[in-house]
Amino acid sequence: MLDHYVVFRARPGKEKEIAAALQDFGSAIEKDMPCLLEFTWGPNINQGGLDRGFTHGCFARLTTEASLKEEYWIHPAHQVLLGLLDDLCDERFALDYRVDDVIGRG
C-alpha cells in the first residue's frame, strides 16, 4: 500500500473553494478508481499547522506505489483538481510513503 497526504495553504479568502474542490474530487474518484482504498479530506484543526497557514488536508490510501503514477495522478478528476490548486493555494506539499505494516484496532 501507499499513503498519500497533501496539505494546503489556502490563498486568503479561498478556503471554501479548496473545500469544494476536494469534495468534488472525492466524489469523482470514489467509484471508478480501483487502486483507491480510502480518501478523506477536511479542514485542518491542528493549531501548529494553522499558525503556518495550512488550512486543509487530504489523504488517499492506494493499493500500490505504482498506482499513484499509473492511475491516481493521470485520472481526469485529479488533473482538474491540479488545475484549480494553483489559483486556490499559496503553497501545498505532499508526503507519500509505502505502508509496510498497519497497527490498528479492528
Q: Which domain holds residue 12?
A: 2-98
**pLDDT tens-place string over residues 38-93:** 999 999 999 999 999 999 999 999 999 999 999 999 999 999 999 999 999 999 99
C-alpha span between 69 and 75 (Å, rounded): 9
Is residue 103, in this structure, part of any structural domain at all? no
CATH of the domain at 38: 3.30.70.100
- The 54-62 sheet, strands edge to edge: 36-43, 54-62, 2-10, 89-98
Is residue 104, in this structure, part of any structural domain at all? no
C-alpha span between 22 and 34 (Å, rounded): 19
pLDDT of residue 103: 72
